[in-house]
C-alpha cells in the first residue's frame, strides 16, 4: 500500500514538471489592480491633507512653510501600499504605480516632496479670520503639539521630537 502511494507521489511530481518562474531574469508582469508604491502628482494636489490624515502608516506629512507654501512629504519608509491615500484623494493626485522593486540603500530614492502654493485672502492679503482649513482640522482634534510643530498636520498624540523632525524632513529652503 505504501509503495503504491510512493509511486503516485512520484507520478505527481513528474507530471507537474518544472514550475519555477524565471523571475528576476525575466520581469514579471503584475495584475491591473496591483498596488505598488504611490506616486504623487504636484499639479493636481490641492494640499487638503486628506491623504496625510488617513494613511494608516502615517507616512505622509504636511508642513506649512509660510502662509503660501505648503510642503507635502511622502516618507517612503514603512508604507504598506494599502492604497488608502489614493482612494481618499479628492483630486486623484495619487496613483498606486506598478513599481514593486523598491529595494534601495538610500531612502531618498523613494521619497517625494511636493511644494504647493496655497492662497491667502485676496482682500486684506492676510490669512483668514475665519478658521482656515488647517484650524478646522485642529478643531476636529488633529494635534499640533507645540509652537515649533504648529506647522504640522498630524493627528497622532505622538510627540515628534524636534531634531527628529528636522532629520525627517531635511528641507532645504533658502
Partner 1 sequence: MASRDILHQLKQRFGAALPRANVAGLDRLYVFVTPEALKDVCQFIFRDLDARYIISIGADDRPYSGKFLVAHNFAFDARHVLCSVLTEVNANGGRPQVPSITEVVPPANWAEREFRDLVGIEPVGHRYPKRLVLPDGWPEGVHPLRKDVPHDFCPPDYDENRDFQFEAPPEGCVVVPFGPFHPTLDEPTHFRLYVEGETVRGCEYRGFMAHRGIEKLAETVLGYNDIPMMAERICGICGCVHNVAYAQAVENAAAIVVPPRAEYIRTIMLELERLHSHLLWVGLACHIVGFDTLFMQAFRIREPVMWMAEQISGNRKTYSLCVIGGVRWEITPELRTGLRQVLDKLEAEWQAVVAAVSRDRNLQRRTRGVGIATPELVKNAALIGPVARAAGVAMDCRRDHPYAAYDRVEFEVIVEHGGDVWSRVVVRMKEVFESIKIIRQCLDKMEPGPLQAEIKDELPPGRFGMSSVEAPRGESHHFVITGENNRPRRWRVRAPTYQNLQGIPAMIKDQQLADMTISLGSIDPCFSCTDRLEVVDIRNQQTHVWSQEELVRLARRKT
Q: Which of 117, 141, 163, 174 binds partner 1 (CB under 8 A)?
A: 141
Residues linked to residue 117 through DSSP beta bridges, in sequence order: 69
2 binding partner 1? (CB under 8 A):
yes
Compute the distance between CA of residue 36 and CA of residue 16 in angstroms, rounded to an integer: 31
Residue 36 · residue 98 · CB < 8 Å: yes
Burial class of residue 10, CB neighbours in 10 A (0-12, 13-18, 19+): exposed
With CB under 6 A as the contact rule, which of the stretches 76-84, 104-112, 117-125, 159-167 interacts with ligand SF4?
A: 76-84
Q: Considering only CA atoms, which of 104, 85, 107, 88 is closest in space to residue 96?
A: 85
167 binding partner 1? (CB under 8 A):
no
12 binding partner 1? (CB under 8 A):
yes
Distance of closest approach, residue 52 Cβ to ligand SF4, in angstroms: 6
Q: Which of 36, 39, 83, 168 binds ligand SF4 (CB under 6 A)?
A: 83
Q: Considering only CA atoms, which of 84, 107, 105, 106 is closest in space to residue 94?
A: 84
Q: Which of 61, 64, 71, 93 binds ligand SF4 (CB under 6 A)?
A: 93
85 binding ligand SF4? (CB under 6 A):
yes
Residue 60 · residue 82 · CB < 8 Å: no
- Binding mask 48-87 toward partner 1 (x if CB under 8 A, else -) reads ------xxxxx---------------------xxxxx--x
Contact of residue 38 among partner 1, ligand SF4, none (CB under 5-8 Å per partner type): ligand SF4
Peptide bond preceding 24 in cis form (omega within 30 of 0): yes
49 binding ligand SF4? (CB under 6 A):
yes
Amino acid at each position: 500500500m505504501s509503495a503504491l502511494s510512493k509511486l503516485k507521489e512520484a507520478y505527481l511530481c513528474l507530471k507537474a514538471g518544472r514550475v519555477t518562474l524565471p523571475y528576476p531574469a525575466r520581469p514579471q508582469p503584475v495584475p491591473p489592480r496591483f498596488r505598488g508604491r504611490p506616486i504623487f502628482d504636484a499639479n493636481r494636489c490641492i494640499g487638503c491633507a486628506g491623504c496625510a490624515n488617513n494613511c494608516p502608516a502615517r507616512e505622509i506629512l504636511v508642513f506649512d512653510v509660510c502662509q503660501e507654501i505648503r510642503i507635502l512629504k511622502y516618507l517612503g519608509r514603512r508604507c504598506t501600499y494599502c492604497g488608502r491615500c489614493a482612494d481618499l484623494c479628492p483630486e486623484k493626485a495619487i496613483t498606486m504605480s506598478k513599481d514593486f522593486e523598491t529595494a534601495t540603500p538610500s531612502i531618498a530614492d523613494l521619497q517625494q516632496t511636493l511644494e504647493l502654493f496655497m492662497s491667502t485672502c485676496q482682500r486684506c492679503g492676510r490669512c483668514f479670520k475665519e478658521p482656515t482649513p488647517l484650524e478646522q482640522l485642529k478643531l476636529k482634534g488633529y494635534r499640533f503639539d507645540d509652537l515649533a510643530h504648529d506647522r504640522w498636520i498630524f493627528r497622532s498624540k505622538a510627540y515628534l521630537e524636534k531634531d527628529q523632525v528636522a532629520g525627517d524632513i531635511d528641507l532645504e529652503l533658502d
